[in-house]
Structure 1
Amino acid sequence: MKMRLIGTLFGAMWAYITYLAVSDNVYHTFGMLVPWILFFGYLKSLSQWGYAATVACFTPVIITLGRIPYGDTLPAGNYALLRIEENLVGIAVAIVLTIIIFPVFAIDVLKNNIE
């Protein structure tokens, strides 16, 4: 969950930087997204950054393509903050489900592995 939030924060920041730098120019937007995708595609091969790199790779694409001229007229900052908010809600729901509703106890895992 921590890695997802880190990836979302990196991706949302890059989407916002892309919006500030190129505004609504589609070609320049893709020009800024391609190096980002290549860099995080490389980082994905590192085991400690795999999931965060995957999320960071696709978050700016989702945010940026959602606001290109055929989207809403809201600024990209609103999309970036909305994406972070959605992930925080998802993490909160996952915590509630895994800790309170469906807890996994070590003794149960041990029993299953012994059998």
Structure 2
Amino acid sequence: MDISQKLLLALVAGCFMSVGAQAAISYSNSQPYVGAKIGQFMVDDNDFDDSTAFGVYAGYNFTPEFGMEVEYVGSSEESYNVSGVNIDYDFKTYGIYGTYRYVFPNTALYSQIDLKML
């Protein structure tokens, strides 16, 4: 293997190794984000059925550490019977949060704390 083949092989290997770094998310700039949630509202009453919860949220990081977030969570409609009366219910929640995000050094992991404002 001559020097030009070794150089070409090293260049190709170096390009493939840098692809991950080029595709990484930059936490140094402000950035918007959106997401979805799904879960279950657990009601502390044996007469109620637990309903499925679903939601969406969106936020904006003003700095790598601080941001704001809005959220909506709703539930499926459920019903229960009390003394022969059928009652329908569903839950809806709205929220506005201030967020603090701690990014662990040398990783893509972070921990986020939401401070409810509304």
TM above 0.5: no
Q: TM-score range by the shorter chain?
A: under 0.3
TM-score for both structures, normalised by structure 1: 0.22
**Structure 1 or 2: more strand by fraction:** 2
Work out which structure has the larger RCO, using CA pairs closer than 8 Å and 6 or more positions apart in sequence: 1
Between Structure 1 and Structure 2, whose CA radius of gyration is higher?
2
**Structure 1 or 2: more helix by fraction:** 1
